[in-house]
Amino acid sequence: MVLPIVRRAYLVAAPVWVATLPLATYAATRVHASTLADAFAFGIYAIGMVVCHQKPERSFHLWGAQLPVCARCTGIYLGAALGVVFRSAEASRSAIRMRRARVLTSRFALVLAALPTAATLLYEWTTGVTPANAIRFAAGLPLGAVVSWLVLQVN
């Protein structure tokens, strides 16, 4: 009973979280924002601080302000939200699969999706050069999408 509740919560949480990132940035840049908008922005940036390093040079900026998470995390979260959309569409077709094949496919997909992020990290650690934010963002997209797909496939 708990698993369907967690799955439903994830279906809502992943897209909502990714939507809050630019909304919080917008709210943070409004000079005459309400106390509620300020509290919202503060809360999202505080959560971002827990899950991300928030280095300005590694983050996208909108309206002259840094997003609550770095470019890589933004890619992972957007990928997760897209994974929810694609997984929901796939689930509606209700394809029949063998459990063993699904486990092997899941592991392979996760390893494959993590390769771009691992490659950017390896490059960064071995050269001392940080890849461009667009590259870090793009590397995070498949990882987020596959993790969402896996979370929503658990029985």
Cα–Cα distance measured from residue 144 to residue 85, given in angstroms and rounded to the nearest whole number: 12
Mean residue pLDDT across the chain = 87
Q: Is the pLDDT of residue 113 over 80?
A: yes
Confidence of residue 89 (pLDDT cuts 50, 70, 90): low
In this prediction, residue 99 carries a pLDDT of 53
And the tokens for 84?
Answer: 């929810």
| End-to-end CA, the chain | 11
The helix/strand count (H/E) of the chain reads as: 5, 2
| Total domains in the fold of the chain | 1
What are the DSSP E strand ranges found in 49-127? 61-62, 65-66
Q: Which amino acid is at 28?
A: A
Which range (36-40, 58-62, 92-96, 117-121) has the least confidence? Answer: 92-96
Strand 61-62 with 65-66, pairing: antiparallel
The CA-atom distances, in angstroms, between 110 and each of 43, 72, 116 are: 31, 17, 11
Range of the domain at 148: 2-153
Confidence of residue 7 (pLDDT cuts 50, 70, 90): confident
In this prediction, residue 127 carries a pLDDT of 95
pLDDT in tens, 9-20: 899 999 999 999
